[in-house]
């Protein structure tokens, strides 16, 4: 699919284009029934929205994202539409309001094309825990598309959409981007409003963007960023110019490769991807050095305790009384709640609730949750310190290529290991981006990750722009 940034030139020349994009989208969805990226296509509004976009473009009134086709992960509210977090628990639940990000996209003229598949309640790294069944990877046949924003990445990689929103609690925007050869950015905690996002682990959750190019991702992130009175954790810091940052280059930037993130057991192709990226960045004027940040082994365990504790607490609201799956034929409150939750949640979600409840329970709380919270502060301080010495960190996104479909569901510990390089950004709140870096010997997509200081998304876009230009 032609990137939105390229199409933008036609829009500015007052040409119609959106109606034909919508036509192609419908045909493609019919032609690829197995992809399973969409859980709902908004057939009833697509044509009217496309018409509006075309009319405004022709009249010379195009707004920032006029006619851009965007999809929304099924854990972000769209007023009047079902929003299920890909869980039986929320089937039939209709959103009472638009998430702030959705409202901002609409106001900028984007066409909201539909709801996208995901791991249940955003818990998973493979897109396979969804009640709607697994999503395929259009960039690697028979492999997982990554998770949990599986549908977002697959729809963009298949050329169905210009961009999609995902959520990233421990890597769920960056991992699927890495698996599908797309760009995925998780902004700084507080940069994008979480109002209207179904919570997983509130201190780690951020809405992010997946797009085919860095510039398209920058356009969308710019539109959805900024302070929101509906989210007390959203930041009032001014939003910087992301789109122009993409072409800014990396001249004079200091980039640190975290040595601990490149163990011998990492596949050779991943070592080479980091190496090649370092060379490209160096020839573009950056200085690249190895640095030590010896906390890598702590990251996933700390994340597992904190994220699951917050998840257990957030998900306690789903008992079938106000909302959520209700069996309706149990009289007694406790047995009804027990049955609603047993039937409504899938295996992975139940596993998280059990771990989270355990680490918060009387007698264990200090040993687990409070200990993890202290370690989290140490991790945050260490990353801040590292990022006071360099401008960007360069590291892998995942410890291996996208797994064959089905394998990770049999081996949860292996699935959890795929989060080892992505959770640092969530524990620290720092922004991070996944950028495609070619393919390995088997033709599977490779990617690298950059992390920057808080609110320096511009640096992430600048480095992504340089790699994108060189790796094509
Ligand atoms: N894969 C991670 C998990 O399952 C992260 C998920 C996410 O970012 N939503 O916890």
Does the C-beta of 124 come closer than 6 Å to ligand 1? yes
Choose the residue to mutate in 307, 349, 429 for probing ligand 1, maximizing ligand atoms within 8 Å of C-beta: 307
Phi, psi for 180 (deg, rounded to 5):
-115, 5
Choose the residue to mutate in 123, 153, 301, 303 for probing ligand 1, maximizing ligand atoms within 8 Å of C-beta: 123
As given in the structure block, the two tokens for residue 96 are 């009472």
Cα separation, 45 vs 355, whole angstroms: 42
The pLDDT-based confidence of 441 (bands split at 50, 70, 90) is very high
Q: Which atom of ligand 1 is nearest to the CA of 303?
A: 10
Q: Is the predicted pLDDT of residue 85 greater than 80, yes or no?
A: yes
With CA atoms as reference, report the closest residue to 118 among 160, 161, 150.
150
Q: What is the mean pLDDT of residues 351-359?
A: 97
With CA atoms as reference, report the closest residue to 464 among 208, 284, 227, 205.
284
What is the CA(171)–ligand 1 centre distance, in A? 6
Q: What is the mean pLDDT of residues 101-119?
A: 98
Q: What is the mean pLDDT of residues 220-240?
A: 97
Does the C-beta of 307 come closer than 6 Å to ligand 1? yes
What is the CA(305)–ligand 1 centre distance, in A? 13
What is the CA(170)–ligand 1 centre distance, in A? 4
What is the CA(423)–ligand 1 centre distance, in A? 8
The pLDDT-based confidence of 331 (bands split at 50, 70, 90) is confident
Does the C-beta of 427 come closer than 6 Å to ligand 1? no
Q: Which atom of ligand 1 is nearest to the CA of 415?
A: 1
**Average pLDDT of every residue of the chain:** 96
With CA atoms as reference, report the closest residue to 430 among 396, 405, 470, 393.
393
Beta-sheet pairing, 206-211 with 183-186: antiparallel
Q: Which domain holds residue 238?
A: 1-472
Q: Is the predicted pLDDT of residue 443 greater than 70, yes or no?
A: yes
Cα separation, 364 vs 176, whole angstroms: 34
Q: How many domains does the chain have?
A: 1
What is the CA(307)–ligand 1 centre distance, in A? 9
Q: Which atom of ligand 1 is nearest to the CA of 149?
A: 9
Phi, psi for 244 (deg, rounded to 5):
-70, -25
Q: What is the mean pLDDT of residues 443-463?
A: 98
List residues with catalytic annotation. Answer: 73, 148, 172
In the chain, the percentage of residues whose pLDDT exceeds 70 is 100
Q: What is the pLDDT of residue 472?
A: 62
Q: What is the mean pLDDT of residues 248-269?
A: 97
What is the CA(41)–ligand 1 centre distance, in A? 25
CA distances (Å), origin 262, targets 95, 193, 279, 331 = 44, 34, 16, 56
3-state SS track over the chain: CCCHHHHHHHHHCCCCCHHHHHHHHHHHHHHCCCCCCEEEECHHHHHHHHHHHHHHHHCCCCCCCCCCEEEEECCECCCCCECCCCCHHHCCCECCCCCHHHHHHHHCCCEEEEEECCCHHHCCCCCCCCCCCCCCCCCCCCECCCCCCHHHHHHHHCCCCCEEEEEECCCCCHHHHHHHCCEEEECCCCCECCCCECCCCCCCCEEEEEECCHHHHHHHHHHHECCCCCCCCCCCCCCCCHHHHCCCCCCCCEEEEEHHHCCCCCCHHHHHHHHHHHHHHHHCCCEEEEECCCCHHHHHHHHHHHHHHHHHHHHHHCCCCCCCCCCCCCCCHHHHHHHHHHHHCCHHHHHHHHHHHHHHCCCCCHHHHHHHHHHHHHHHHHHHHHHHHCCEEEEECCCCCCCECCCHHHCHHHHHHCCCCCHHHHHHCCCEEEEEEEECCCCCEEEEEEEECCCCHHHHHHHHHHHHHHHC
Cα separation, 171 vs 207, whole angstroms: 11
Q: How many degrees, rounded to 5, is the angle at CA 387 between CA 384 and CA 391?
A: 155
Does the C-beta of 36 come closer than 6 Å to ligand 1? no
Q: What is the pLDDT of residue 330?
A: 74
Q: What is the pLDDT of residue 464?
A: 98
Does the C-beta of 200 come closer than 6 Å to ligand 1? yes
Among 22-26, 58-62, 179-183, 409-413, name the most confident range.
Answer: 179-183
Does the C-beta of 419 come closer than 6 Å to ligand 1? yes
Choose the residue to mutate in 125, 150, 418 for probing ligand 1, maximizing ligand atoms within 8 Å of C-beta: 125
Q: What is the pLDDT of residue 354?
A: 97
Q: What is the mean pLDDT of residues 164-182?
A: 98
The pLDDT-based confidence of 329 (bands split at 50, 70, 90) is confident
**CATH code at position 402:** 3.90.1300.10
């Amino acid at each position: 699919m032609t990137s939105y940034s390229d199409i933008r030139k036609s829009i500015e020349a007052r040409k119609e284009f959106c109606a034909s994009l919508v036509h192609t989208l419908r045909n493609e969805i019919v032609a690829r029934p197995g992809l399973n990226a969409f859980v709902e296509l908004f057939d009833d509004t697509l044509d009217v929205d496309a018409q509006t976009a075309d009319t405004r473009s022709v009249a010379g009134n195009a707004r920032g994202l006029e006619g851009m086709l965007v999809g929304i992960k099924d854990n972000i509210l769209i007023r009047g539409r079902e929003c299920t977090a890909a869980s039986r628990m929320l089937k039939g639940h209709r959103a009472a309001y638009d998430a702030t990000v959705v409202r901002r996209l609409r106001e900028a003229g984007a066409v909201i094309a539909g709801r996208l598949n995901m791991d249940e309640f955003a818990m998973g790294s493979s897109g396979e825990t969804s009640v709607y069944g697994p999503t395929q990877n259009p960039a690697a046949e028979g492999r997982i598309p990554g998770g949990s924003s599986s549908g977002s990445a697959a729809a963009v990689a298949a050329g169905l959409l210009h961009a999609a929103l995902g959520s990233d609690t421990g890597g769920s925007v960056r991992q699927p981007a890495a698996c599908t050869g797309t760009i995925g950015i998780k902004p700084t905690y507080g940069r994008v409003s979480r109002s209207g996002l179904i919570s997983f682990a509130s201190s780690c959750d951020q809405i992010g963007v997946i797009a085919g190019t860095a510039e398209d991702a920058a356009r969308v992130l710019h539109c959805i960023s900024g302070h929101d009175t509906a989210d007390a954790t959203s930041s009032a810091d001014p939003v910087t110019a992301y789109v122009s940052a993409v072409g800014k280059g990396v001249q004079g930037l200091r980039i640190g490769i975290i040595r601990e993130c490149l163990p011998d057991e990492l596949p050779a192709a991943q070592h080479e991807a980091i190496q090649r990226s370092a060379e490209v960045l160096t020839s573009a004027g950056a200085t690249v050095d190895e640095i030590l940040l010896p906390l890598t082994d702590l990251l996933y365990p700390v994340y597992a305790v904190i994220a699951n504790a917050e998840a257990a607490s957030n998900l306690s609201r789903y008992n079938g009384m106000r909302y959520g799956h209700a069996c309706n034929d149990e009289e007694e409150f406790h047995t009804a709640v027990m049955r609603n939750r047993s039937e409504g949640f899938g295996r992975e979600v139940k596993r998280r609730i059990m771990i989270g409840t355990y680490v918060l329970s009387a007698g264990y709380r200090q040993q687990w949750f409070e200990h993890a919270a202290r370690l989290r502060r140490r991790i945050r301080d260490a990353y801040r310190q590292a990022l006071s010495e360099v401008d960007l960190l360069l590291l892998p996104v995942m410890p291996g290529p996208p797994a064959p479909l089905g394998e990770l569901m049999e081996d949860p510990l292996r699935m959890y290991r795929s989060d080892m390089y992505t959770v640092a950004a969530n524990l620290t709140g720092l922004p991070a981006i996944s950028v495609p870096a070619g393919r390995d010997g088997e033709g599977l997509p490779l990617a690298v990750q950059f992390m920057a200081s808080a609110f320096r998304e511009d640096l992430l876009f600048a480095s992504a722009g340089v790699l994108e230009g060189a790796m094509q």
